[in-house]
Amino acid sequence: MYFPVAFQVLFLAQLAAIGWGANLRLLSNADIEVRPVLQLALLPTANLNDDRPDDGIHGNVFRLARVLAAVTALGWLLSALASTPAMQTWLALLTYIAVAGIVVLPQRILCHTVRMQFLGSLVRIVVPSMTGPVFLCDIIMADILTSCARTFADLRLVACQFASLAWRDEASACSDTGMVGAFLVAMPYAFRLRQCVNEYRNAAPGSPEATRHFANAVKYASSFPVICLSAMHRRAEIEASTGVGKSGWTLRPTFGLWVLAVAFNSLYSYYWDVAFDWDLGHSRSGWKLADVVVPPVLASPAPGSVLGVVDETSELAIARELVSPAEALARDAYEPTAKRSFPRWLRPRLRFAWIWLYYAAMAIDFLLRITWTMKLSSYIRIDQMAFGGFWLNILEVYRRWQWTFLRIEKEAAR
C-alpha cells in the first residue's frame, strides 16, 4: 500500500483537527459554553466574525478540515498514480504547499477566524514571553503539540525527502546523527515548559498556585531525559550493529536509564492528568489526589469557630455577605457539602451524567500512557510492524482527544 511518511503526517494533523471539532461539537451538545472557558474573547482575533455564526466553532472547524482533507486526498491519489519516485515527491511537496497556503490565506474566506486563532495561538506558543498572559486555549494547543512530538520527528524525514529533489541525493540531504530529530521532538515540551514557567512567575510566591505550576514544569522537564536517552540508545544500537564506534557496551546502561526516565515521566503525567487536568480522585472525606503535590491550605479560625473548627452556618453567612444573593444561590447549588454524595474517586461537580465515561477515561489514559512498555517485550516489535509508528501516533491522537474533552469539562464544572 502506498502511504508514505509525508502523507501520514498530513493525515495525523487533519485527524487531530477533526478531533478538535468533535470535542467542540460534543461539548456544545452538553450545553457547555466553550468560548468563555477557552478565553477566546480575550484573544486579539476576538473581533473577527466572518465565519458562519450559525455553525458555531465546531462547524467552522469541520468545514476547514473537510477542505484540507479533500486537498490531501487528491494529492495522495495523484502521487500514488505517479510513474516515478521523483514525480511522487513533487506531488507530495505541492500538496504541502497547498495545505499551508490554505491555512495562512489572509483573505476573509474559508473560516478566517478559526485559521487566525490557530495561527495566533501558534505564534504565542513559539515566541517566548515571560510577562504576557497564558490563555487556556494556548495551553490546550501546546499540549496537543506535545502529543504530536513523534510527528515532528517524521517531519524531518519529509524535509529530507523534499531536499533530495534539489540535492539529487537523499543520503546527502539527510546526513544527520539523530540529534535533529531529538530536537524536533523536544520542541513542543519546551514550549509547554515555558508556559509553566511563565505562570509560575506570575503567581504569588509560596502560594498553592505557584507550587502547582512549578510541579507542572517538573513534569514537562522530565520529558527531556527520555528524549535524550532514547536518541543515545538508538545511536548505540546503530553503532553496535554496524561496528562503527567503540563497542555496544553502552546499550544496556542507556536502556536501563531510559526505562527509569520514561517510567517516571509517564506515571507522573498520568497522575497529573487525573488529579489536576481533570480534577478527579476526590474522596468523600475531603481528601483528593491533588493534595499529594499541593497540600490544602489550612484556613485561619473564622468568627463563630472554636479552635479552628468552623461552624458551617456562620461560614455560609459570612460568604453570603461578600456576594450577591443570586451568586450565593448559584454557588450553593453546586457547592459540595458533607451530606452530598458523589461517585467514588471522581469529584462533587460533574457536567456529564455518564459516570462510566470518567472511569473509562482514566483507565484508557493509563493504558495509552504506558505503551512504551511494549519495547520491553521481545515478542512485540512495533518498529518492525507495518506502519507501527503510525498506529501509535493515532492512539496518541485519541488519548489527547479524550484528555481535551475532560480538560474543558473540568473548567466548565468549576
Which grid cell sits at 100? 499551508
Domain range summary for the chain, segments of one domain joined by +: 295-341
Angle between helices 5-29 and 149-167 (to 10 degrees): 150
Please tell me the predicted confidence (pLDDT) of residue 311: 40
- In this prediction, residue 52 carries a pLDDT of 64
- At residue 138's C-alpha, the angle toward residues 413 and 11, to 5°, is 100
pLDDT of residue 316: 37
According to the model, what pLDDT value does residue 337 have?
A: 39
pLDDT tens figures, 320-353? 344 444 344 334 334 443 445 789 899 999 999 8
Query: pLDDT tens, 339-394?
Result: 457 898 999 999 998 999 999 999 999 999 998 887 776 555 666 677 778 989 99
Task: Report the distance separating Cα 40 and Cα 45, nearest Å.
Answer: 8
CB count, 10 Å around CB of 201? 12
Q: Which pLDDT does position 357 carry in this prediction?
A: 95
pLDDT, residue 305, reads 39
Sites in the chain below the pLDDT cut of 50: 247, 299-339
Please provide the average confidence, as pLDDT, over all residues in the chain: 82
The whole model's pTM is what?
0.85
List of long-range contacts for 341-349, beta carbons under 8 Å, 24+ apart: 341/284, 342/282, 342/284, 344/283, 344/284, 345/280, 345/281, 345/282, 345/283, 346/280, 346/281, 346/282, 347/279, 347/280, 347/281, 347/282, 347/288, 347/413, 348/282, 349/413, 349/414
